Structure 1
Amino acid sequence: MTSYLNMHLALEQRREAAKAKGEQGPRVIIVGPEDVGKTSLSKILLAYALRQSRQPIFVDLDVNEGSITMPGTLTATPINQIIDVEEGFGSSATTSPSLGSSMLPIVYYYGYPDPGENVKLYKVLTAKLAQSAKRRIAEEDDSRISGMMIDTSGLIDSTGYEIIQHCVDVFDVNIIIVLGHERLYSDMARLYKDRSNINVLKLAKSGGVVDREKVFRRQVQMRKIREYFYGLPKFELSPCSTLINLNDITIYRVGVGSLAPSSALPIGIDRKVSETQLVKVEPDDTIRHSILALTAANSPDEQTLLESNIIGFIYVYL
C-alpha cells in the first residue's frame, strides 16, 4: 500500500506542474494480467485524487465486468464524489434520480466479454471514447488538470499488446503502470524506450489479491446486469415494463454470428466479411431474454450507428 501512496504523490506532483504550466494532467493507463487488482488500484488512486479536490476522468476499458454500467461496455465518467466502499462506483443515473452515488458516464457498447473477440470493433470504439474523454478535458480546467485514470482488461498476449499500444496512442497516455507482471513491464519499457514523453512504471500486486474462477466471474456479470435495472440493495430502482410494436424498432447486430465454412464457398471466391459490419436482425424468439443497447444515433447510416454512444439498455422477456 505504501507504493500505491507514493504513486499518488507522484501523480499529484504532475497535476501541480500541469496547473502551473497550463498543461494537461497525468493520463494513466493501468495494465496487467487478470486478477492482479487493476480496478482496485484505479479506485485507490481515484480516491486519493478526490481527497485532493481533483476531478479525474475514469475510463473503464475492461468489458468483462463493467464497473459502472453493463458488462460489454466501454465507459468514461468524471469522478467527483468519494467511491463508496459497498457500492463501488455506484450506479449510472439513467432511470431516475438516486439517493445513492450515481454516475453520468458516456457509454459505448462493444458486446463481447473479451477485447480479442472483435479487435477492429474494440479499436473503433476506444478511439471514439478517447475523443469524448479528451473533449471533456478540453472543456473543463478541473478535469484537464486532474487527468485520466484508465482501467484495462487482463489480455496480455500478442492481441493484448496490440490493444494496449492502440489505447496508449488514442488516449495520449503519458504514464503506463504495469501491475504484477515482470515480463509485461520489460516489454512495455522496451516498446516505449524511445518515447521520452511516456513513463513506464512497475507496481507489485497487493497481497490481498486472489484468483477468481469463471463461475465467480459469471456471477459478477449477472450481478452487474441486475444492478443496472434494479439498483443497489440500499438504493433500489424500479424498472418499467412496456409493450413495443416490433415494426417501430430496428435491431442490428455487429458482425456475423455464424458463417458457412470456407469449403462451402464457390471455387475462387474469397469470404468478404467485416468485423464491423451491421447485420439487421429480424425480431423473433431468438432475441427473447436478450439485452439490447439503445443507441443515440440520429441517422440510420452504418458508420453513425456503429460509433454512436449508448443511452440505455432494455431487457427483452417476451
Structure 2
Amino acid sequence: MTTAEDKRTLVQEFKLDPDSELRFEIESKNEKVYLVLKSGLAEVFGTELVKGKSYEFTSGAKVAVFTWQGCTIELKGKTDVHYVAKETPMIMYSNCHAALELMRISAEKDNVKGPVTMVVGPCDVGKSTLCRILLNYAVRMGRRPLLVDLDLGQGQISVPGTIGALLVERPASIDEGFSQEAPLVYHFGHKAPAANPALFSMIITQLANTVKERIEVNKKTKMSGVIINTCGWIKGLGSRKIVQRISSAIAFEVDVILVLDQERLYNELVRDIPNFVKVVLLPKSGGVVERSKSARSEARDQRIREYFYGTPKNSLYPHSFDIKWSEIRIYKIGAPALPDSCLPLGMKAEDHLTKLVQLTPNAGLLHHLFAVSFSEKDDDEIINSHVAGFVCVTNVDTERQMITLLSPQPKPLPNNVLILSELQFMDSH
C-alpha cells in the first residue's frame, strides 16, 4: 500500500538559484526517476536540457543538474539522495574550458595542433565527468575534439580492459553518454596497468602515434585538440605511478594537465613535468562518492553487458554461434619469465611481459572475453593492432572441439585471431 508520505515524494519541484546544482542518486534496483526542466536553462555535465522533455534515469545513476541563470526542475520518482548545492566547481571547470578555447583560437591562427589536455587524480573524484563537461562545451562551440580513454577499469569507449579514442561530434546524450560510432580500441586485457606495465606502455605509445596521425588528416579535429581521461591514482604505488603519468603525457605531447583533488600529485607533476606543460589543480565536486570494490566490479559487469545487450533505451541483440577450434587462433599476451638458473651463463632473461603465446582451446576459457584482432599475422603486429570488437566464450565442448561465442555480429568473425582477456562475463540472458 502506498502511504501519503510515499505519494508526496513521487513528484518534487526544485527552484534553483543561478550557479547552483541539484544532485541526486538512484541506488535502488528497478527504480526509475524522470527529470523535467519546467522553466529557465539547465545542463547535465555540459549537455543542455530541453525544456519540457522527460529524461529517464535508472539504478546506479548519479546526476548533477547545473544552472547558470536559475531554473525550475521537476523530479518524478524516488531518489535515494537528493539536495541542492550552492557551492559547485562548475565555474572553475568553465574557466578551464574558456582557457582551452583561447588555445584553440590561437592554434587556428597559427595552423598548429590544438591543446592536448590530460585529466589525472585519485579514483572516484570525477575525472570522467570533467572530461565529459569539457568535451560537451567544446562541441557546443562548434569544435570536434578527440576523447582518449586510458581508464582500464571503467571502459568509457569500449569494454573494461581496453584503451581507445573516439571522435566527439555532438554533445553527449543526457542518459547514455557519447555516441560510440567507429571508436579506435586497443586491447590490454587487465583491470589495472600494474598487471602488465610493459604492455600498457607499449599500447599507449601505439595509441598516441595513431591519434597523432589521425588528427593531422582532419583539420577541424587538429585545431579542436584532445581530452585524455586516465586511471585513478592508487595510494602506495608512489613514484612508479608518477613515471607512468609522465610517460603517458610525453607520448601524447600533452599541453595541459588538470589534477583533480590531489595536491601531492599536483606538486610532484609540477616538479617533474617540463615547464612548457601547464599543470592546474582543481577541486572535485561535493557530489562525488567513493565506490567500494564490489560497486566497481558491478559497474564493470554492467559495462560489458551493455556492450552485448545495449541499454534499456537502446537494446542490442547479440548472436550466439559455434565455431570449430581449428577455425580460430587464440593467443594471450605475456608469459612467465624464465629463472636465471635456466639460462646459459652470462645470458639475461628477456622480457616476457609482451611475448605472444598461442593457446590451445580448453575449458578454462569459459566466460572469458576475447578481443578480435584486425591483424592477419602471427607476430607482434597482433599486440600493436587495434581490435575489431569483443566476443565472450559461453560454452566449451571438448569432445566436439567446438566453442560457443556470444558476439555483437553474426558469423563469420571479422578475423580468426582472438586475444584472451582476464575479464569474464556470465551471460544470464
Asked if Structure 1 and Structure 2 have the same fold, meaning a TM-score greater than 0.5 normalized by the shorter chain, the answer is yes
Aligned mate of 1:79, from 145, 155, 168: 168
Matched, 1:118 2:118: no
- The reply on whether 1:172 has 2:253 as its aligned counterpart is yes
Please name the residue that 1:58 is paired with: 147
> Are 1:146 and 2:224 an aligned pair?
yes
In the alignment, the residues of structure 2 paired with residue 55 and residue 271 of structure 1 have an alpha-carbon distance, to the nearest angstrom, of: 46
Which residue of structure 1 aligns with residue 301 of structure 2?
222
**What is the Cα deviation at residue 298 of structure 1?**
2.2
Question: 8 Å contact 2:157–2:166 — kept in the other structure?
Answer: no
The 5-angstrom pairing of residues 226-237 of structure 1 reads 226-237=305-316
Aligned pair partner of 2:159 in 70, 85, 94:
70
Contact kept? 1:27, 1:148, Cα under 8 Å? yes
User: Is 2:385 the counterpart of 1:308?
Assistant: yes
Distance 2:333 2:239 in 1: 24
1:26-81 deviation line (CA, Å, top 9, x unaligned): 10001111111110100000011011011100000000110021000011011011
Residue 129 and residue 259 in structure 1: after superposition, are their counterparts in 2 closer, same or farther (change >3 A)? closer
Matches within 5 A, 1:204-215: 204-215=283-294
Give the Cα–Cα distance (whole angstroms) in 1 for the partners of residues 257 and 271 of structure 2.
12
Q: Which has the higher contact order (CA 8 A, sep 6+)?
A: 1
The CA RMSD over aligned residues, in Å, is: 1.8
- Secondary structure of the equivalent of 1:232? coil
- CA drift of 1:219 comes to 0.5
- Of stretches 152-161 and 200-209 in structure 1, the one that deviates more from structure 2 is 152-161
Q: 1:190 — aligned with what? A: 271
Residue in 1 aligned with 2:99?
10
Indicate conservation of the 8 Å contact 2:165/2:211, yes or no. Answer: yes
Asked if the contact 1:116/1:160 (under 8 Å) is kept, the reply is no
Following TM superposition, the consecutive aligned residue runs of length 4 or more in structure 1 with deviations greater than 6 angstroms are 266-270
- Gap change, CA 1:263 and 1:207, over 3 Å in 2: same
CA distance in 1, matches of 2:263, 2:112: 32
Q: How does 1:94-113 map to 2 (within 5 A)?
A: 101-113=179-191
2: distance between equivalents of 1:239 and 1:73? Answer: 20
1:239-254 alignment runs, 5 A limit: 239-254=318-333
Q: Return the alpha-carbon distance in structure 2 between the equivalents of residues 83 and 270 of structure 1.
A: 51
In structure 2, give the amino acid aligned to 1:248. Answer: E
Partner Cα separation in structure 2 for residue 61 and residue 299 of structure 1: 26
Equivalent-residue separation in structure 2 for 1:312 and 1:180 (angstroms):
35
Q: Which ranges in structure 1 are unaligned for 5 or more consecutive residues? A: 90-100
SS at match of 2:199: helix
Structure with greater strand share of residues: 2
Output the CA distance in 1 between the equivalents of 2:370 and 2:167: 25
Bigger share in helix: 1
CA distance in 1, matches of 2:110, 2:119: 25
In the alignment, structure 1 residue 40 sits paired with structure 2 residue 117: no
SS at match of 2:320: coil
Cα distance in 1 between the residues matched to 2:295 and 2:170: 29
Residue-by-residue CA offset, 1:203-229 (whole Å, 9 max, x unaligned): 111111111000000000000000000
Between the two proteins, the alignment pairs up a number of residues equal to 302
State the shift of 1:119 in Å: 0.8
User: Separation in 1 of the partners of 2:115 and 2:351?
Assistant: 40
Give the AA of the match of 1:206: S
Cα distance in structure 1, aligned partners of 2:365 and 2:337: 19
CA contact (8 A) 2:337 2:350 kept: no
Deviations 1:143-189 (A, max 9, x none): 00100000000135322111111111110101111111001111111
CA contact (8 A) 1:63 1:71 kept: yes
State the shift of 1:259 in Å: 7.3
Is 2:152–2:192's contact at 8 Å kept on the other side of the alignment? yes
> SS where residue 71 of structure 1 aligns?
coil
- Cα contact 1:116–1:159 (8 A) shared by 2: no
Residue pair 1:56, 1:78 contacting (<8 A) in 2 also: yes
CA contact (8 A) 2:119 2:258 kept: yes
Taking the aligned partners of 2:344 and 2:112, their CA distance within structure 1 comes to: 59
TM-score (norm 1): 0.91
Which has the higher Rg, Structure 1 or Structure 2? 2
Structure 1: distance between partners of 2:226 and 2:343: 51
